[in-house]
């Protein structure tokens, strides 16, 4: 009874909050200027494109983790709902 009324819903809430935090982190990635900016235009454009690619990769990684945690929160919430109805 304690498991279905408190542990599972609390676990679902915590995993959902962690997933939301990961989504927020993925939206906060900055592609700001680097410490070293080359004087050559072509090289400077290359550095900026590289910075964009790296930021996109970091954002994609955080989004992938957030999606997995959201799935876990949904699963826990569903299990909590069904077990609460059964017991």
pLDDT in tens, the chain (87 residues): 777 788 999 999 999 999 999 999 999 998 876 666 777 878 878 888 888 999 999 999 999 999 999 999 999 999 988 887 776
Q: Which residue bears the tokens 């070293």?
A: 36
Q: What is the pTM of this model?
A: 0.81
**End-to-end CA gap in the chain:** 7
Q: Could you tell me the sign of the dihedral formed by the alpha carbons of 35, 36, 40, 44, in that order?
A: negative
Closest CA to 8 of 76, 57, 70, 56: 76
Which letter does DSSP use for residue 5 in this model? Answer: I
Q: Which backbone phi and psi does 31 adopt, to 5 degrees? A: -110, 40
């Amino acid at each position: 009874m304690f498991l279905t009324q408190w542990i599972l819903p609390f676990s679902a809430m915590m995993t959902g909050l962690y997933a939301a935090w990961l989504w927020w982190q993925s939206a906060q990635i900055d592609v700001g200027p680097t410490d070293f900016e080359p004087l050559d235009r072509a090289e400077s454009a290359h550095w900026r494109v590289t910075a964009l690619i790296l930021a996109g990769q970091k954002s994609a990684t955080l989004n992938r983790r957030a999606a997995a945690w959201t799935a876990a929160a949904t699963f826990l919430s569903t299990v909590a709902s069904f077990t609460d109805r059964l017991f």
